[in-house]
Structure 1
Amino acid sequence: MVVIGQPPLEDMMNRATGTPAWLDLGTTDLEGVKPFYQELFGWQFEDCGPAMSHYNMITKDGGLVGGAMDMTQCNDENDAEPRNAWDVFLAVDDVDGKLQLALDNAANLVAPAMDAGPAGRFAIVADPAGAVVAMWQAKDTEGYAFTGRPGTPIWFELVTTDLAGAIAFYTTVFDFSTAPMDDDYATNGPVEEATSGMMRSEDDTSHWQVTFAVADIEAALVRTIELGGQVVTPSVDSPWGPYATIADPTGARLLVMQASPA
């Protein structure tokens, strides 16, 4: 995992195609995991009501973080069992067109294009290596607020079993302009301006992952266990600060990082 940086909040408006715009927790126990995230990150959850299938908007100190939804009543197009996972939404200007382009380039359909009320329009696919990724065409809701503060998302990363194939797919579908850091890692855009990364998987799985800032990495790991979560990998130092992989009580994985001020 590498954290390069993100543009300031004002530059995240009108996000360019391929820029992370939204993040979404699909869970089989929304009410059960709310206390975990509330205590660990200080999040607030707002239920959007029955018209929106009780989708919850997540905020931190008034800024948008993402959303969460109970998936026990939902199946994807392939009738797969609901996943406990964080999904990443990449900005697009035409969901329907990009969805068809993704399918034409060996992606598999997870959820067809549909409206999310007045907020925007989205679709979900699995890329050719199997990583689930969503598309977001903003209307009233541009996306999450990037502040870099504890409890907020600071980095997005594709872990893939086929790095070369991923670079080709995301360049074709999401207009990525990749910059290799080494044989196993590339960023979308030059290092100084990168908004996401992609890395070669160390096992046989492909997925997107989200990193959240914390004020104290070791305290966050202790609190994770106290709240019923799991520390999947212990903290590792990096030039951008120590980070670790954790899982919430349902098993949804995420990364936490004590990011340096830089």
Structure 2
Amino acid sequence: MSHPSHDKIHYVELPSRDLAATKAFFQKAFGWGFIDYGPQYAAITGAGLDGGFFQASTPAHSRNGSVLVVLYSDALEATQANVEAAGGVIEQAIFDFPGGRRFHFIEPGGSELAVWSATAT
């Protein structure tokens, strides 16, 4: 884990109903690694921000008021294809918003995330 900066977001933890499936999905779709800390927690490596997944019965979803974790991609369509090939379910297809485009997906552990890309100039 990197040294924290004072008063800055340092670490994000996300729930998963199926920790093994979540880890396999993110490894395949995004190339992330994991360090297991017991059977109910895995820290993320190589994701750009420190964090982890924990075993939980309730996944994170924005419609329930959860925080939405948004990843960045230089190639949005290719990233969406990787998400689908790894077993993710597209919750909201690619759409435009001011400053870019994005899509939302559900990973196999049940949590919602999104991926965005800047609008080409």
- Check if 1:235 corresponds to 2:94: yes
Cα distance in 2, alignment partners of residues 216 and 59 from structure 1 = 21
Q: Given the two structures, how large is their TM-score scaled by the length of structure 1?
A: 0.40
Q: Given the two structures, how large is their TM-score scaled by the length of structure 2?
A: 0.79
Runs of at least 5 residues in structure 1 that lack an aligned partner in the other structure? 1-11, 72-81, 87-158, 160-202
Aligned length: 117
- What's the CA shift string for 1:199-230, capped at 9, x where partnerless? xxxx7x42221101122111111222211111
* Secondary structure in structure 2 of the residue aligned to 1:85: coil
In structure 2, what is the equivalent of residue 56 of structure 1?
Answer: 42
* Secondary structure in structure 2 of the residue aligned to 1:33: helix
Amino acid at match of 2:58: R
- Check if 1:245 corresponds to 2:98: no
Quote the RMSD (CA, aligned, Å): 2.6
Which among 84, 95, 101 is matched to residue 59 of structure 2? 84
Which among 53, 78, 99 is matched to residue 68 of structure 1? 53
Structure with the greater relative contact order (CA < 8 A, sep ≥ 6): 1 or 2?
2
Cα distance in 2, alignment partners of residues 239 and 30 from structure 1 = 34
In structure 1, what is the equivalent of residue 21 of structure 2?
Answer: 32
Which among 70, 83, 92 is matched to residue 211 of structure 1? 70
Cα distance in 2, alignment partners of residues 222 and 228 from structure 1 = 10
Which among 33, 46, 52 is matched to residue 44 of structure 1? 33
Cα distance in 2, alignment partners of residues 239 and 64 from structure 1 = 24
Q: Retained in 1: the 8 A contact 2:60–2:66?
A: no
1:240/1:14 Cα in 2 relative to 1: closer, same or farther (>3 Å)?
same
**1:249-260 mapped onto 2 (5 Å cutoff):** 249-259=108-118
Amino acid at match of 1:85: A
In structure 1, what is the equivalent of residue 84 of structure 2?
Answer: 225
Runs of at least 5 residues in structure 2 that lack an aligned partner in the other structure? none
Cα distance in 2, alignment partners of residues 60 and 260 from structure 1 = 25
1:258/1:38 Cα in 2 relative to 1: closer, same or farther (>3 Å)?
same
Q: CA deviation at 1:46?
A: 0.3
Q: CA deviation at 1:252?
A: 0.9
**1:36-185 mapped onto 2 (5 Å cutoff):** 36-49=25-38, 54-60=40-46, 64-71=49-56, 82-85=57-60
